[in-house]
Structure 1
Amino acid sequence: MLPLKQFTDFIEQNKLFTPGGKVVAAVSGGMDSVLMAHLLKGSGYNFSIAHCNFQLRGDEAIADQEFCKNLAQQLDVEYHTIEFDTHTYAAENKISIQMAARELRYQWFQQIKQQHGYDVIALAHHQNDTIETILLNLTRGTGIAGLHGILPKNGDLVRPLLFLKRDDIQRIIAKNDIGFVEDSSNTSTKYARNKIRHEVIPRLKELNPSLEKTFENNLQHFRELEILLEMRVAELKKDAFIEKNGEIYIALSAIKTLHPKRLLLFGLLQPYGFNETTIDNLIAALDKHSGRVFESLDHKLILDRDRIILIKKKNNPVAVRINPNDREVNYHNYKVTLLHDDSPLIVKDNPLAVSIDAELLIYPLIIRRWQQSDFFYPLGMKTRKKLSDLFVDQKIPVHQKSQVPLLVNGNGEIIWVAGYRSSERYKVSKNTKKVTIFELIKT
């Protein structure tokens, strides 16, 4: 007898999928995934079988592929299969064979899910897989999330066999005389997971014969702790994060009062790609390194006086030429318009517009971002000033400096720091006969 009621109860309790949902089951041919296929069939679910041949075990892999094809015919379900050149993929991406096989199969599962309209991808992990995963995570280093093991549902990935132990599966397979194939690589201890499975766990069971039950209880505690942490982080985020113009501001005073600081700060910043090493460096810099920048793949953290600024990375603006006959050019997030006039007009009350003595312009002009060595002669001053000092005076955060447009003359001199100051050398005077008015319009 198959444990159909336990199977369907587990699916319903964990809301893995609905009775009418379409399921694609990842089946390798081993006892775990074969039992899952029989349970799906016996419970009346609408499912198909998907099998990957990684071409790593020669004839054995071909035999597994044929077995899964026959299983699909036996159960009268649709069959999907694919053959991967795993060695080439691993070499091209400079990753291990195991990692290459993992990436290839999950990419393919997502592909056939979308192509055929499946609701979920069913994987045949069981309770012992969860124990192995936790031990692996502890060995490699992990946060609380790494202690919850394998979840019954993670997005569109579902694991309906997590109510069973490996011994349970072996007993059910034998009792119901269900055929399966053995993957010879499962016995090799050159892989970390297999070493844990065949060498570490048996020793732990010598100390605690009820290891699975103990881990089941521990898992419940870990998951509850994770929920508490998520709730606390959500509260902190609501109170401490101030969003404005696509940027997030976090007061240093709020960060300094966090306790435990490292755990909570990591919880707040991990979703933006920052790892624990970055969090340690940030904490060390809180009291002494204003202006320090920390980067993840997609975001930047800027330590700015009394706050931290969190921004999504942007492409740096590309310099644009302005020719004498241009009336309009595009620069980054702006449209730049030019108006030529025969009277000495001076623009007032618009920081994004400026009047310049037209006779002093040397074309082509350039609109570009600032560079570290930039300086100019601010309006009203006879001496030059570094742009970096102007930015400090204007309290422009580090991450916004590269977004400030600079209008540069053909001789390399800065005419206008758009939005802030124009140059004394190019101002409209009593001797000016013609002006050119430049205006930046945000697009």
Structure 2
Amino acid sequence: MLPVPQFQEFIARHALFSTQKKVLAAVSGGKDSVLLAHLLKSSGFDFALAHCNFQLRGQEADRDKTFTSNLAKQLQAPFFLTHFNTADYAAEKHISTQMAARELRYNWFEKICAEENFDVIALAHHQNDAIETVLLNLTRGTGIAGMHGILPKNGRLVRPMLFLSRENIDAICAEEKLDFVEDSSNNSAKYARNKIRLEVVPKLKEINPKLEKTFAQNLERFRQLEQLLEHDLQVLRDAVFIGLKSELRIRISDLQKLHPQQLLTFGLLREFNFSEQVVADLLLSLEKHSGRIFESASHQIILDRTEIIIKARGKESGERTDKFEIKIEENDNVIHFINYSLKILQEKSALIIKNNPMSIAVDAGKLMFPLTVRNWQTGDFFYPLGMQKRQKLSDFFIHQKVPLHQKLQIPVLVNSNQEIVWIAGFRLDDRYKVHSGTKKVVIFELSNT
């Protein structure tokens, strides 16, 4: 007898979908997906079958296509079919055939859902698939998220057969005399998952014949541990994150108090795509390397003296979102860049501006146009007003206690001879100050927009 009550109870317990929802069932023709289709039919759900021909197994793939089409007719369910040039896609994307097949089918399933208003995509994974996933994750290395196996629900994807083992499915299909097709590649130990299923799991079942039941209990515990960790991490995020989403900060002292430090720090930074190795390097650098930058594909961490600063990177890898370099011609009156406006005023008297870091008067006779306003660059130096020795801008910013992420945004006014004229908002270069012999000045006024 089909386990319809258990099927419906599992769906209800995990809130996978209701009878009001449209279900798209991924059906390969194997016994797992065939049983899924029959259970959906017997339970009265509104469902359709979707089958992918990856064009990798020749006549066997054509056989599967014909079988699943006939199954849809038998169950009086709508049928969706597509063909993929999987090998070409894998070569184009430089990924494995298995990964290519996965991307192609899930993208296609989502397309059908969008076009035909399906609510969920039902997959025929069972308990043994969950065991194999965990063993594979452990072999390759994983955190707690890789320990919970396959989840009953992940977004639109639902797996309503996780209450069944492979032995259960074999027995039900035999008792109900359900027709199905066999994928010959499942019997090859060429793939890592198959190797675990064919060689590793049988050995483990010699130790524990009730392996599936034991693993089901373990996986539930791991899921609950993950939920507990995520709850604690959210509380921690609320406590330690400072600032807006575009620029978050965490006090170094707060990171140093965490225990276990690496696990919790990785949990805090995981959403910004930082790897465990980068997090480990960051923690080793907390008291040693102020100014160091750590990067992920989407974000960068700037290690300041008392904080770490988390910022989104530019659209292109490694590019800062605040990078700028603007030319100023002699007749320009105002220029706009990033979040700034810079006014340029001509004054015939030797005016000196005091106590206004956002406005400066420069000896016009020393300027050579076009000028440039840009970010600071490694190796930049100038002669701070009142000093006869040159100083690197990096050292100047340190003395001024300017956080690293802020100095990336400070405009630097540069003469045509590449000498720095003004660190906007901070200090004029002594070589360009107004003096007794100055006949004309140029006034620069910086303001935020």
Query: Does the pair score TM above 0.5?
Result: yes
Report which stretch shifted further, 213-222 or 84-93: 84-93
CA distance in 2, matches of 1:25, 1:434: 80
Q: Is the 8 A contact 1:321 1:366 kept in 2?
A: yes
CA distance in 1, matches of 2:140, 2:134: 10
Q: Is the 8 A contact 1:331 1:367 kept in 2?
A: no
Residue 377 of structure 2 is matched in structure 1 by 371
Q: Percent identity?
A: 56
- In 2 relative to 1, CA 356–163 (structure 1 residues): closer, same or farther, beyond 3 Å? same
Q: Deviations over 1:330-385 (max 9, x none)?
A: 43343434333445555566544433333432111112221111111222223221
1:139 to partner: Cα distance = 0.7
* Aligned: 1:265 with 2:265: yes
Residue 208 of structure 2 is matched in structure 1 by 208
Q: Deviations over 1:219-248 (max 9, x none)?
A: 122122212222222222222222258322
375, 389, 394: which one pairs with 2:400?
394
Residue 420 of structure 1 is matched in structure 2 by 426
Q: Is the 8 A contact 1:55 1:86 kept in 2?
A: yes
Which amino acid counterpart does residue 158 of structure 2 have in structure 1?
V
- In 2 relative to 1, CA 247–192 (structure 1 residues): closer, same or farther, beyond 3 Å? same
Q: Deviations over 1:386-420 (max 9, x none)?
A: 11111111222233333222111111111121222
CA distance in 2, matches of 1:99, 1:139: 18
1:165 to partner: Cα distance = 1.1
SS at match of 2:60: helix
Residue 444 of structure 2 is matched in structure 1 by 438
Report which stretch shifted further, 135-144 or 218-227: 218-227
Residue 358 of structure 1 is matched in structure 2 by 364
Correspondences of 1:308-387 after superposition (within 5 Å): 308-314=308-314, 315-316=319-320, 317-345=323-351, 351-387=357-393
CA distance in 1, matches of 2:409, 2:310: 16
Which amino acid counterpart does residue 101 of structure 1 have in structure 2?
A
1:323 to partner: Cα distance = 1.9
* Aligned: 1:143 with 2:149: no
Which amino acid counterpart does residue 365 of structure 1 have in structure 2?
L
TM-score relative to the length of structure 1? 0.93
Residue 411 of structure 2 is matched in structure 1 by 405
Report which stretch shifted further, 297-306 or 157-166: 297-306
Aligned residue-pair number? 443
* Aligned: 1:252 with 2:252: yes
Residue 184 of structure 2 is matched in structure 1 by 184
CA-atom RMSD in angstroms:
2.2
SS at match of 2:408: helix
Which amino acid counterpart does residue 336 of structure 1 have in structure 2?
L
Q: Is the 8 A contact 1:25 1:47 kept in 2?
A: yes
Which amino acid counterpart does residue 404 of structure 2 have in structure 1?
V
SS at match of 1:291: coil
Residue 298 of structure 1 is matched in structure 2 by 298
CA distance in 1, matches of 2:80, 2:114: 13
Unaligned ranges ≥5, structure 2: none
* Aligned: 1:7 with 2:19: no
Residue 199 of structure 1 is matched in structure 2 by 199
SS at match of 1:362: coil
Q: Deviations over 1:135-163 (max 9, x none)?
A: 11111111111110011011221111111
Residue 234 of structure 1 is matched in structure 2 by 234
- In 2 relative to 1, CA 333–200 (structure 1 residues): closer, same or farther, beyond 3 Å? same
SS at match of 2:362: strand
- In 2 relative to 1, CA 352–34 (structure 1 residues): closer, same or farther, beyond 3 Å? farther
- In 2 relative to 1, CA 358–122 (structure 1 residues): closer, same or farther, beyond 3 Å? farther
Q: Deviations over 1:175-204 (max 9, x none)?
A: 222222211111110000000101110111
SS at match of 1:239: helix
SS at match of 2:402: coil
Which amino acid counterpart does residue 378 of structure 2 have in structure 1?
Q
- In 2 relative to 1, CA 247–72 (structure 1 residues): closer, same or farther, beyond 3 Å? same
